[in-house]
Amino acid sequence: MISLIQRVSEAQVTVDGAVTGRIGRGLLVLLAVQPDDDSSTVTRMAERVIGYRIFPDDQDRMNKSLADEGLELLVVPQFTLAADTRKGMRPSFTRAAPPDKGRAYFGQFVEECAKRLPAVETGVFGADMKVSLINDGPVTFWLEA
């Protein structure tokens, strides 16, 4: 499982012009499920995203997590993060989970996060989405579980 996490001042995702998820200060997570992922992988990734310390403390050091600060989360499914781009001029998606598995584990990830956070918003699995954000920092990390 891959998560590209971005610390944001605000972010939103729209599908066909309608907002499906919107947050203020928090994290935007682009999430890719891979073929070997299982329920324990999902749980571990949720723990990492929620607990990853990338928000500033009183000394302006990245020492606070999403959970510490009680901030918002926007999760967007993005299978293209799992693309194999090592050769050629076209990505291969053999490292991405099949759609049914991706949809199921995306849903499980959102549920795991919603148990621990006050606000979790999402994109729509399989939809053509438009994502907008104001990256705070910019701060962006690639997490794998």
Cis bond before residue 77 (omega within 30° of 0): no
Of 123, 137, 134, nearest in space to 13 by CA: 123
Could you give the CA distance from residue 4 to residue 103 in angstroms, rounded to a whole number?
17
Q: Is 79 a catalytic residue?
A: yes
For residue 94, the one-letter residue type is T
Q: At what angle do helices 99-116 and 39-51 cross, to 10 degrees?
A: 40
Could you give the CA distance from residue 144 to residue 54 in angstroms, rounded to a whole number?
16
Q: Is 78 a catalytic residue?
A: yes
* Active-site entry in 78, 108, 122, 125: 78
Q: Is 93 a catalytic residue?
A: no
* Active-site entry in 55, 79, 106, 125: 79
Q: Please report where in the chains the tokens 């070997």 appear, as a residue.
A: 36
* Active-site entry in 80, 85, 93, 94: 80
Known catalytic residues are 78-80
